């Protein structure tokens, strides 16, 4: 096994240069295509012929101050601000004689880079004799972790050993190590700030290519970002068409099958559907208990029109849909189809990470329902082929998908069912209607605040091209591998003692077959009481680890965590005015959401951080500081 593994490492390393050249060619081809497609009178950067990422050298990134500020940088500026976390005394561990350590401090955790005269770039020709040195050369973006916290090998294996074992066990991840090159070159702030970003369900990360290429277009093609420029410069509308086609291609469908409506965000997309869908009195509206909280924006106009809402139940053990109960609801509607009905169905739970079976879309349709499929947190780590399944409506978020531009979402509308018409507001007119209203539209932009410039849509097309280069299959396989390792790790962490009680409680399926890119859990103290998610989130932030909190996105799922006597059992769980009947403040959920640039180093550092909660003195001290800070924030000035 070891010989086979080492041979594959050698093969991966020797092909690194080809991988890098292939990507340079891919991005270079993008630039050539842009120039070739430029019409007369359009300005191109022909003088320099430079593309922002035309040369991807395997070198350390130097921050010269010109790099556009990223989402990560806005949270963690390079210059320290305010009081820094106290550094702990290091507990050294032996490393190979052929390695010279170089440490970069990171609060309570630190990374150890292993520069060596023998270490070459991934595209180099030489190969080190020692397997450990070779492996580190292959993992161009990986840095070896130093254990600042003496947690013991019985709790968490040494990073080198853990990484070696992970790569040997999860070949799907090993086969796509080239993504680490992209992370290093296109997301330099993750490396320079030693940032662990695990909140992709809230917002995706954008690459240097996306920002630089979009900036180039802004400088060359448009004098401003106003929406009125579309009339003055008609050619800019091509960017809207490119974004439209790119999104359809992502779902493997076309303009003959789906129209598209762009909105200014996820909540706006839900609200638009609520206003445009032909709800009537007693039209059934079926929601899932783990729908995103933004579904409230759909409910309000639906209820005003007389819709009759219902809630699809979830299983209490794994938060999956209760099959028997859901089937009863769907079949009951089949006997009363005169009023239609809309089923708002999430492809992936935004908090628990449960992957809901796409087969429910077909079964709902067979029983007379129309389906709004929410893919906002499902993409890009999931795959949806609309040539196989065709929901009537498909909702997605550009911010979640690409990270840039923010404030944009879309809804695909199947033409077989609805004609999209636009007067002052969007209307979904049944395709069988003989109404001679406004003209049917293939593409509509709902922008009441006039913030969506045609040039904004260019960033969508650019972002999806970048995602193509990263590789959809690579992203999905890497995330599946990381989620599987993370689940095993969370279940294995124990408090001190023989036998020690569990350190975490994981919610949802324990298999990646029915789980997507999100893992929800609570950290437990030694008495098995959950530690508030906000406290865990705050302490993680001090260690440059960004985590999500489920209580912010899924009120229905939070409802399931209440005692049975305190739970809301109807649709009012999504009522924004409803107050909890629980007398105890809920701890919430810690949510780890993986994304295209997630690495093994990220989940390992999370494991190392969570292991600190085995130390009751650490928890007591940090918790006291946290509660003092939050109490001070609540005191009115």
Q: Are residues 178 and 290 in the same domain?
A: no
Q: State phi, psi for 487 to the nearest 5 degrees.
A: -60, -45
Q: Percentage of the chain surpassing pLDDT 90?
A: 50
- Domain boundary residue among 420, 449, 478? 449
Which of 44-58, 166-180, 309-323, 437-451 has the highest average model confidence (pLDDT)?
166-180
pLDDT level of residue 482 (50, 70, 90 thresholds) = very high
Q: Are residues 186 and 263 in the same domain?
A: no
Block residue for tokens 């190969």 = 127
Which tokens sit at 223? 């004098």
pLDDT at residue 535, rounded to an integer: 92
Tell me whether residue 209 is in a domain: no
pLDDT at residue 14, rounded to an integer: 47
pLDDT at residue 333, rounded to an integer: 72
Please state which of the ranges 66-75, 342-351, 458-467 shows the lowest mean pLDDT.
66-75
pLDDT at residue 371, rounded to an integer: 98
Tell me whether residue 568 is in a domain: no
Residue 76 has pLDDT above 90, yes or no: no
Tell me whether residue 474 is in a domain: no
Rounded to the nearest 10 degrees, how much is the dihedral formed by the CA atoms of 534, 538, 543, 548? 40
Domain that holds residue 179: 2-194
Please state which of the ranges 213-217, 342-346, 349-353 shows the lowest mean pLDDT.
349-353
- Domain boundary residue among 176, 194, 212? 194
- Of the two residues 554 and 418, the one the predictor is more confident about is 418
Average pLDDT on 547-575 reads 73
Tell me whether residue 170 is in a domain: yes
Please state which of the ranges 167-176, 288-297, 370-379 shows the lowest mean pLDDT.
288-297
- Give one DSSP letter per residue of 251-315, joined into a string: TT--TTTEEEEEESSHHHHHHHHHHHS---TT-EEEEETT--GGGHHHHHHHHHTT-EEEEE-B-
Q: Are residues 370 and 272 in the same domain?
A: yes
Question: b/e per residue, 492-515, with b = 16+ CB within 10 A?
Answer: ebbbeeeeeebbbebbbbeebeeb
Q: Are residues 45 and 181 in the same domain?
A: yes
Q: Are residues 175 and 282 in the same domain?
A: no
pLDDT at residue 133, rounded to an integer: 37
Average pLDDT on 194-198 reads 97
Domain count, the chain: 2
Q: Are residues 168 and 289 in the same domain?
A: no
Q: Are residues 270 and 189 in the same domain?
A: no
pLDDT level of residue 378 (50, 70, 90 thresholds) = very high
Give the CA distances from residue 525 to residues 120, 535, 575, 610, 618, in Å, rounded to whole numbers and listed in that order: 45, 12, 33, 11, 11
Tell me whether residue 477 is in a domain: no
**Among candidate residues 123, 231, 226, the one with its CA nearest the CA of residue 178:** 123
Distance from C-alpha of 351 to C-alpha of 549, rounded to nearest angstrom: 8
Tell me whether residue 272 is in a domain: yes
Q: Are residues 145 and 294 in the same domain?
A: no
- Of the two residues 97 and 168, the one the predictor is more confident about is 168
Tell me whether residue 602 is in a domain: no
Distance from C-alpha of 447 to C-alpha of 111, rounded to nearest angstrom: 45
Residue 197 has pLDDT above 50, yes or no: yes
pLDDT level of residue 229 (50, 70, 90 thresholds) = low
Average pLDDT on 536-546 reads 94
Q: Are residues 189 and 313 in the same domain?
A: no
Q: Are residues 311 and 184 in the same domain?
A: no
Is the distance from CB of 39 to CB of 236 less than 8 angstroms? no
What would the pLDDT profile of 26-69 be if each residue is shown by its tens digit? 555 555 455 444 444 343 333 333 333 333 333 333 344 444 44
Residue 125 has pLDDT above 50, yes or no: no
Please state which of the ranges 238-247, 323-332, 485-494, 588-597 shows the lowest mean pLDDT.
323-332
Average pLDDT on 231-259 reads 89
- Domain boundary residue among 194, 223, 238? 194
Tell me whether residue 456 is in a domain: no
Residue 502 has pLDDT above 70, yes or no: yes
CATH number at residue 415: 3.40.640.10
Residue 426 has pLDDT above 80, yes or no: yes
SS3 365: helix
Q: Are residues 189 and 262 in the same domain?
A: no
- Of the two residues 148 and 342, the one the predictor is more confident about is 342
Q: pTM of the prediction?
A: 0.77
The residue ranges of DSSP E strands in 334-417, in sequence order, are 342-346, 370-374, 393-397, 409-414
pLDDT at residue 226, rounded to an integer: 56
pLDDT at residue 102, rounded to an integer: 30
Average pLDDT on 4-11 reads 49
**Among candidate residues 403, 477, 448, the one with its CA nearest the CA of residue 71:** 403
Mean pLDDT of the chain: 76
Average pLDDT on 122-143 reads 36
Q: Percentage of the chain surpassing pLDDT 70?
A: 67
Average pLDDT on 405-409 reads 92
Q: Are residues 96 and 188 in the same domain?
A: yes
Distance from C-alpha of 361 to C-alpha of 354, rounded to nearest angstrom: 16
- Of the two residues 537 and 572, the one the predictor is more confident about is 537
Cβ-based neighbour number of residue 167 at 10 Å: 21
Please state which of the ranges 228-232, 434-438, 534-538 shows the lowest mean pLDDT.
228-232
Average pLDDT on 60-87 reads 39
SS3 91: coil
């Amino acid at each position: 096994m070891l010989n086979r593994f080492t041979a594959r490492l050698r093969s991966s390393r020797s092909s690194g240069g080809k991988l890098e050249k292939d990507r340079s060619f891919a991005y270079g081809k993008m630039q050539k295509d842009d120039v070739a497609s430029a019409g007369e009178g359009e300005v191109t950067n022909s003088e320099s012929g430079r593309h922002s990422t035309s040369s991807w050298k395997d070198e350390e990134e130097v921050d010269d101050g010109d790099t556009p500020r990223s989402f990560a940088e806005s949270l963690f500026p390079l210059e320290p601000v305010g009081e820094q976390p106290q550094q702990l005394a290091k507990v050294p561990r032996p490393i190979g004689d052929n390695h010279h350590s170089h440490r970069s401090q990171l609060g309570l955790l630190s990374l150890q880079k292993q520069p060596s005269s023998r270490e070459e770039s991934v595209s180099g020709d030489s190969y080190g004799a020692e397997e450990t040195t070779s492996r580190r050369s292959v993992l161009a973006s990986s840095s070896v972790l130093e254990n600042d916290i003496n947690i013991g090998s019985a709790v968490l294996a040494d990073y080198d050993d853990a990484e070696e074992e992970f790569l040997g066990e999860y070949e799907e991840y090993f086969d796509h190590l080239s993504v680490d090159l992209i992370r290093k070159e296109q997301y330099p702030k993750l490396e320079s700030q030693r940032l662990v970003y695990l909140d992709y369900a809230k917002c995706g990360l954008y690459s240097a290519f996306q920002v630089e290429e979009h900036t180039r277009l802004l400088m060359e093609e448009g004098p401003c970002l106003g929406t009125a420029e579309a009339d003055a410069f008609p050619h800019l509308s091509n960017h809207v068409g490119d974004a439209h086609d790119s999104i359809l291609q992502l779902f493997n469908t076309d303009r003959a099958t789906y129209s598209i409506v762009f909105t200014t965000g996820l909540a706006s997309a839900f609200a638009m559907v609520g206003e445009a869908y032909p709800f009537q009195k007693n039209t059934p509206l079926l929601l899932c208990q783990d729908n995103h909280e933004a579904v409230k924006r759909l409910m309000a106009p639906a209820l005003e029109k007389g819709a009759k809402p219902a809630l699809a139940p979830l299983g209490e053990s794994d938060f999956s849909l209760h099959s028997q109960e859901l089937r009863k609801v769907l079949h009951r509607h089949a006997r009363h189809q005169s009023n239609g009905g809309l089923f708002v169905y999430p492809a992936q739970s935004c908090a628990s990470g449960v992957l809901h079976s796409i087969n429910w879309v077909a079964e709902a349709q067979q029983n007379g329902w129309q389906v709004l499929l929410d893919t906002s947190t499902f993409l890009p780590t999931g795959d949806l082929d609309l040539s196989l399944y065709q929901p009537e409506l498909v909702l997605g978020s550009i911010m979640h998908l690409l990270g840039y531009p923010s404030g944009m979402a879309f809804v695909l509308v199947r033409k077989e069912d609805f004609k999209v018409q636009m007067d002052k507001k969007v209307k979904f007119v049944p395709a069988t209607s003989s109404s001679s209203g406004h003209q049917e539209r293939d593409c509509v932009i709902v922008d009441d605040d006039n913030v969506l410039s045609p040039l904004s849509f260019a960033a969508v097309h650019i972002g999806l091209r970048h995602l193509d280069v990263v590789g959809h299959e690579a992203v999905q396989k890497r995330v599946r591998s990381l989620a599987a390792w993370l689940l095993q790790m969370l279940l294995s962490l124990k408090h001190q003692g023989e036998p020690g009680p569990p350190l975490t409680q994981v919610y949802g399926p324990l298999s990646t077959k029915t789980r997507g890119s999100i893992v929800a859990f609570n950290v437990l103290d030694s008495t098995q009481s959950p530690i508030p998610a906000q406290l865990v989130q705050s302490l993680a932030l001090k260690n440059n680890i960004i985590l999500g909190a489920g209580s912010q996105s899924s009120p229905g799922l939070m409802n399931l965590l209440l005692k049975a006597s305190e739970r809301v059992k109807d649709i009012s769980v999504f009522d924004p005015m409803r107050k909890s009947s629980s007398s105890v403040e809920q701890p919430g959920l810690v949510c780890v959401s993986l994304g295209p640039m997630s690495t093994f180093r990220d989940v390992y550092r999370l494991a190392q951080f969570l292991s600190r909660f085995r130390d009751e003195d650490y928890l007591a001290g940090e918790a006291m500081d946290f509660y003092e800070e939050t109490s001070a924030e609540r005191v009115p000035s």
